[in-house]
Amino acid sequence: MAGMALVTYLTRYTMIATLGRSDLSPALRRWLRYIPPAVLAALVAPAALAPHGHVEVGLPAWSVLVGAVVAWRTHNVLWTILGGLAAFWLLRAMGF
C-alpha cells in the first residue's frame, strides 16, 4: 500500500510541478483550459444520452441540453445546475 501511495503521489506531484511553472507556452495553457469541460462532458453525456446502453432522447437528455444552453449563455456553474434541474422538474411535472 505504501508503494502505491508513493506512485500516486509522485505522478500527481510531477504534473502539478510541471503545470505550476510559468514558462509554459500560451498555446499549451489555452489547450489545458478545455480539459475539465471535456472530462465532464465525457462523464455526463453517456449517462444522459444512453442510460441503458443505447441512445434515448428522454427527460435526462432534454435536461442536459437546457443546462448546456444555460452554461453557454451565462458561464455560471450555479445557473447551469439550477437551469438543468428546473428543466428536469418541469418536464417531469408535465409528464414527459
Q: Is the pTM of this model over 0.75?
A: no
- Position 30 pLDDT exceeds 80: yes
pLDDT for residue 14: 86
Contacts of residue 64, defined as CB under 8 A and 6 or more positions apart, other chains included, come to: 44, 45, 48, 49, 84
Chain center to CA of 90:
23
- What are the boundaries of each domain within the chain? 1-25, 34-93
| Pick from 60, 63, 58: nearest CA to 48 | 60
Backbone angles phi, psi at 20, to 5 degrees: -80, -15
Tens digit of pLDDT for each residue in 53-72?
888 888 999 999 999 999 99
- Position 33 pLDDT exceeds 90: no
